[in-house]
Structure 1
Amino acid sequence: MSGTQGPAHPVTRRTAVAAVGGAGLCLALTACGGSDESGAAGEPAASTGTKDPGGATGGGGGKVLARTADIPEGGGKVIGDVVVTQPKAGEFKAFSAKCTHQGCAVKNVSDNMINCPCHNSMFDASDGSVHKGPATSPLPPASIVVDGDSIRLA
């Protein structure tokens, strides 16, 4: 019997390059899921975990997300971790901007549909329900308060 032996399966240059490339791909895909929109003063808006679907009117509330004039009827706007919609004139709703399929950030609202660009899931802008999969769960509602022309987190 002789002294030392090398590893049974040495790591080749090809294996090392593939591993590094795979890690880079994971980082790139994770980065693609983020939102480039921000809330007031350039800070990302905080998400809420409340069960209130929003749309309430009255004073108070937290951070201003948007002005009512900024949210088009039948459309909406992604603001940080929240998407604010106006399904009907004067009715404002808010939901998590994180798609329930794989966590990508939804990117836009048009024709009363909240759209996720990653796998084309679509959610109803009035209640967050799934209109088209692959997502199977609705977007969680976020609680907002409409105070005059300001839309605030509740």
Structure 2
Amino acid sequence: MTASQDSSPAVSRRVVVTAAGGVGLAAALTACGGGEAADPVATKPAGTPGGGGAGTELAKVADIPEGGGKVVGDVVITQPTAGDFKAFSSKCTHQGCLVKDVTDNLIHCPCHDSRFDASDGSVRSGPATAPLPPASITVEGGLIRLA
């Protein structure tokens, strides 16, 4: 059979490159948290930071700097002003990555650089569009616990 008699369709270089790019994009989105993650509270034994439910000790008051905060498992604890402690889910509302740190009253997600207000969890810059859900805590005796 000669080349002119071959009846199989020719695949252009553009089709191959486009298909390969789509596979790469799908892999990148999955790596950025496109899938459902396990709930960290449900998978941690009682008594471990960020797990176990109500009454679980998360941090000491002294561990949370004013204007900053600390990520403890599935919770990020902040102290926007002296003596005012707040807590939010540590799971970014953009694609589920865990937020990393709190500096200058901003909670930072390292995956796509979303930033949230440390006093109310609202979005200060995206790509996230929804605020971090609040978490219930109690502060007494120098300790911060899940409520």
TM-score, with length taken from structure 1 = 0.66
The whole-number CA distance in structure 2 between the counterparts of 1:129 and 1:47 is 26
Bigger relative CO (Cα 8 Å, ≥ 6 apart): 1
Q: Does 1:75 align with 2:68?
A: yes
CA contact (8 A) 2:106 2:116 kept: yes
Please list every run of 5 or more consecutive structure 2 residues that lacks an aligned counterpart in the other structure: 1-7, 9-19, 39-43
Number of residues of Structure 1 aligned to a counterpart in Structure 2: 120
Please state how far the C-alpha of 1:149 moved relative to its aligned partner. Answer: 0.3
Residue of structure 1 equivalent to 2:48: 43
Identity %, equivalent residues: 66
Name the structure 2 match of 1:88: 81
The 3 A distance-change label for structure 1 pair 63 and 44 is closer
The residue aligned with 1:144 is 137
Matches within 5 A, 1:8-87: 29-30=32-33, 43-46=48-51, 62-87=55-80
How far apart are the structure 2 equivalents of 1:117 and 1:79? 16
Equivalent of residue 126 in structure 2, options 133, 147, 153: 133
Which amino acid letter does the alignment assign opposite residue 46 of structure 1?
G
Cα distance 1:74–1:135, how it changes in 2: closer, same or farther (>3 A)?
same
Change over 3 Å in CA distance of 1:28–1:137 after alignment to 2: closer
1: CA distance, partners of 2:104 / 2:141: 25
What SS does the aligned partner of 1:146 have? strand
| 3-state secondary structure, aligned to 1:69 | helix
Counterpart among 109, 114, 122 of residue 115 in structure 2: 122
- Provide closer, same or farther for how the CA distance between residues 119 and 46 of structure 1 changes in structure 2, counting only shifts above 3 A: same
Large movers: runs of 4+ above 4 Å: 21-30
How far is 1:85 from its partner? 0.2
Amino acid at match of 2:130: S
The residue number in structure 2 matching 1:109 is 102
Q: Once the 2 structures are TM-superposed, how far is the Cα of residue 146 of structure 1 from its aligned partner? A: 0.2
How much does 1:43 deviate? Answer: 3.0
Q: Does the 8 A contact of 1:47 with 1:142 survive in 2?
A: no
Q: Letter of the aligned partner of 2:65 in structure 1?
A: P
TM-score, normalisation: structure 2: 0.69
**Greater helix proportion:** 2
C-alpha displacement of 1:26: 7.3
Over aligned residue pairs, what C-alpha RMSD do you find?
3.3
